[in-house]
Amino acid sequence: MLVIRPLQNGDLDDLYAMAQNAGKGLTTLPADRELLQRKIDLAQETFNQRCAPEAGLYLFALEDIGSGKTVGISGIQARVGLDEVFYNYRLSVTVNASRELGVHVRTPTLHLSNDMTDTSEICSLLLSDDYKGGGNGLLLSRCRFMYLDEFRKHFSEKVFAEMRGVSDSNGQSPLWDALGSKFFDMEFSQADVLSGLGNKSFIAELMPKYPIYLPMLPESARSVVGRVHNNTAPALKMLQAEGFNFNGLVDIFDGGPVVEAFVHNIRTVRESVNRHAMVTRKPIDLDVPVSERAMISNRSFQDFRVTTIPISCVDPDTVKLSPEVAAALRVESGDPVRLAPLKDSGPWPNHYHRERSFQYREVR
Amino acid sequence: MWLVRPAELDDLDQILEIAGTQCARLSSTLPKQPEALSRKIEHSLLSFDGKAPDDRPARFLFVLQNAETGAIDGTAAIDARAGNGQPFYNYRRDALIHASHELGISRRVEVLYPSHGLTDHTLLCSFSIRPELRGTNAFELLSRSRMLFIAEHRQWFNSRVVVEIQGVQTDSGNVPFWDSLGRHFFNMDFDTADQYSGVLSKTFIAELMPPNPIYVTLLSKAAQTALGQAHELTVPNLELLKREGFQAGCHLDIFDAGPVLEARTDSLHTVVTSRRKTLHASHDERGDTCLIAAGNGSDFRCTLTTVYESLDDQVKVPVKTWKALGKTAGDPVRIAPL
């Protein structure tokens, strides 16, 4: 059984091994023990509310209960751009037109922006190769939306994700080669690592501040602006299914798109429901296909836990849990839990919808 | 004998012919359409009479005439106010230092800023001459006669004077700077844009030119190399202007990135070294060849002459020079050494 829980001190070794395997592409989790330990410490402070809410870094670990190993990580940064400056390019259009000459030219233009400042970011998703498939990636990503929903006042109304942009197998990014490298005097991977390490002031100091007219860049660079790396395409699709959309911003280094959604519009949030746990001794077959599973959370701020159970366990007022699942979630009979479908088009039982509309009436 | 005088409407056909033989930029401010050119000559005639309307600053068009044959062999012009009441467009080449203390990086980033800074400076323009006369005394006469005109009519002109030099163009007619920058925004080839800038109001430049500064490093290599470089055909002109005291500053042409030369009007070599004298006769044709100019406004004439003697405020020159200038003994003239 796989369970989402807050990242803890004991996770360092597994995390380091995962970061090493991930290679250079993942800049938010560099294979650097000291840095990873700092992240764990910050996550612990965040969950225990020992740091300012806007400084929070909510990192979740995916643990295989059977082996006790940490096999994935995902996170939410409460706010970006508060103690450093957060940069994107806004892809906009400049029109130059002359009625006299009958000329009307549209020029795609990159404007440096700090538009995502003070917004919550979902970030740092990494799943061990051995555990890919079977809905584990969905759980690792979507558990965050349950958390956002549960504790909305800690986050901005809108959340966003930066998607990895196009680079070749040698780590060369066409946009970087045509643009960033002309100003930064370093390799893409080096710049990306520096920015991941938090040395972001160098960006402000070295970045071109004036708008960049795209037609002045080579076709290879123009074509990757707003496009994701092939490896990131599934993640983009998943976020799009949740209601995230490209917001016109791109990464200043590799041109990867920024996608965003309002928390109340995220599908997982819209479709989640509350129940009370009912621990049962009756055997439950946990091994059902992804499309028949639901995420279930214990609704705890400090010890947030999520796992998946068959949708068939969800009853009108309660949800049947095996003792093992209840233990993994650290809940007992009668405790409140929250549920959401794991996969995009999971068939919720009818009573879910009935009860949901009833709930709304009651609220009014 | 060569004579420089204000252009007249009768010169129209010959001027059109000369404009047609020049490569694009040399004559860009000289219209190739008869109607436009005739309007320009009319405005020039008003300007020489000191009657240019307030909303259309003075523009003076001169022609180089072969006194023996009457043929027109060159043109040159002065716009009293660059931009002629509208903005005068250039790029100003400047630099920013992008430095990171943390990383120990310091980097010079060159930037082209759109500029109207030279608007209202006096502009020398429309210089064209038959190719076989390039580099001859006639060439020098045509170019420098304008400085003598300025010296004689100093109050009509600004304290600073500029001249745009044609930039790099390949043998096949491509302009690297245009291809790397302007083409994307104007959606037309260089010659078309250049033509428009000669005959249309400059509004279209304001409408189509990218409004933001341009990073030099994002231009093509060929365009970067062309920045501030003069077309090889303009080298004799460039040399002459440098001798006059013109220097390339930081301004570039917005279309081809050719250099814009700048000088202080009162420091121009011809303005400083020319002297006012009273005209007297010489029956001897020996002596140093000098530039000599006489006449106010539309009576302005300038030619080359041998000077037999130049003492105090008198100058003795052959009588045929008098005739060319339309002057007689005792009239004031201005002379300058070649």
Q: What is the CATH number of the domain that holds A331?
A: 2.40.40.20
CB-based contact, A108 to chain B, within 8 Å: no
The domain limits of chain B are: 2-92+115-270, 274-337
pLDDT at residue A23, rounded to an integer: 66
In a domain, A103, yes or no: no
Res. A186 pLDDT band, cuts 50 70 90: confident
Give the mean model confidence (pLDDT) for residues A86-95: 94
Q: How many residues does chain A have?
A: 364
In a domain, A216, yes or no: yes
Q: Domain check: are A287 and A241 in the same one?
A: no
What is the CATH architecture assignment of B274-337? Beta Barrel (2.40)
- Is residue B174 classed as helix, strand or coil in its secondary structure? coil
Task: Name the minimum distance, in Å, from the CA of B185 to any CA of chain A.
Answer: 6
Cross-chain Cβ contact B103/A213 below 8 Å: no
CA distances from B164 to A69, A130, B72, B126, B310 (A): 73, 68, 23, 10, 35
Q: Does domain B2-92+115-270 have CATH number 1.10.3720.10?
A: no
Q: Domain check: are A201 and A297 in the same one?
A: no
Q: What is the pLDDT of residues A5-62, one digit of tens each?
A: 999 999 999 999 998 887 665 667 778 899 899 999 999 999 999 999 889 999 999 9
Q: Domain check: are A241 and A279 in the same one?
A: no
Report chain B's mean pLDDT, rounded to a whole number.
90
Does B28 score more than 70 pLDDT?
no
CB-based contact, A206 to chain B, within 8 Å: yes
Give the mean model confidence (pLDDT) for residues A255-266: 96
A216-223: Cβ within 8 A, 24+ apart: A216/B180, A216/B181, A216/B184, A216/B214, A216/B218, A216/B219, A217/A175, A217/A178, A217/A179, A217/B218, A218/A174, A218/A178, A220/A174, A220/A177, A220/A178, A221/A174, A221/A175, A221/A177, A221/A178, A221/A179, A221/A255, A222/A108, A223/A174
CB-based contact, A95 to chain B, within 8 Å: no
Q: Domain check: are A278 and A244 in the same one?
A: no
pLDDT at residue A354, rounded to an integer: 45
Do residues A128 and A18 make contact, with C-beta atoms less than 8 angstroms apart? yes
Cross-chain Cβ contact A183/B109 below 8 Å: yes
Task: Name the minimum distance, in Å, from the CA of A167 to any CA of chain B.
Answer: 20
Q: What is the pLDDT of residues A335-347, one digit of tens each?
A: 999 999 998 765 5
Q: Domain check: are A281 and A231 in the same one?
A: no
Q: What is the pLDDT of residues A147-164, one digit of tens each?
A: 999 999 999 999 999 999
pLDDT at residue A195, rounded to an integer: 73
In chain A, the largest separation of any two C-alpha atoms, in whole Å, equals 83
Cross-chain Cβ contact B187/A105 below 8 Å: yes
Q: Domain check: are A196 and A218 in the same one?
A: yes
Q: Which residue range is the domain that position A308 belongs to?
A: 272-341
Of A248, A265, A282, the position where a domain reaches its end is: A265
**The total number of structural domains that make up chain A:** 2
pLDDT at residue A361, rounded to an integer: 39
CA distances from A219 to A29, A159, A177, A233, A257 (A): 31, 32, 12, 22, 18
Cross-chain Cβ contact A215/B203 below 8 Å: no
Structure tokens, A31: 């294979």
Do residues B99 and B106 make contact, with C-beta atoms less than 8 angstroms apart? yes
Cross-chain Cβ contact B211/A179 below 8 Å: no
Give the mean model confidence (pLDDT) for residues A246-265: 95
Res. B22 pLDDT band, cuts 50 70 90: low
CB-based contact, B113 to chain A, within 8 Å: no
The catalytic site residues of B sit at: 231
Task: Name the minimum distance, in Å, from the CA of A205 to any CA of chain B.
Answer: 6
Does B284 score more than 90 pLDDT?
no
Helix-, strand-, coil-residue percentages of chain B, each rounded to 5: 35, 30, 35
Q: What is the pLDDT of residues B241-282, one digit of tens each?
A: 999 999 999 999 999 999 999 999 999 999 999 999 999 988
In a domain, A351, yes or no: no
Q: Spell out which residues of chain B touch residue A98, defining contact as CB-CB under 8 Å.
A: 203-204, 207-208
* Reported ipTM: 0.85
Residue B212 is nearest to which of A205, A207, A211, comparing CB atoms?
A: A211
When mean pLDDT is compared across A299-308, B191-200, B209-218, B274-283, the lowest value belongs to B191-200
Predicted TM-score (pTM) of the model is 0.87
Q: Spell out which residues of chain A touch residue B218, defining contact as CB-CB under 8 Å.
A: 179, 182, 212, 216-217
Q: Spell out which residues of chain B touch residue A112, defining contact as CB-CB under 8 Å.
A: none
Q: Domain check: are A178 and A325 in the same one?
A: no
Task: Give the whole-angstrom CA distance, residue A332 versus residue B75.
Answer: 99
pLDDT at residue A222, rounded to an integer: 96
Does A362 score more than 80 pLDDT?
no
Percent of chain B with pLDDT over 70: 96
Q: Domain check: are A313 and A282 in the same one?
A: yes
CA distances from B108 to A205, A216, B115 (A): 12, 20, 21
CATH of the domain at A216: 3.40.630.30
Q: Which of B92, B96, B97, B100 to mutate to test the interface with A (most CBs of A within 10 A)?
A: B100
Q: Domain check: are A201 and A320 in the same one?
A: no
Q: Domain check: are A247 and A324 in the same one?
A: no
A332/A346: higher pLDDT: A332
Q: Domain check: are A64 and A147 in the same one?
A: yes
Task: Name the minimum distance, in Å, from the CA of B82 to any CA of chain A.
Answer: 23
Q: Domain check: are A151 and A246 in the same one?
A: yes
Task: Give the whole-angstrom CA distance, residue B308 versus residue A361.
Answer: 113
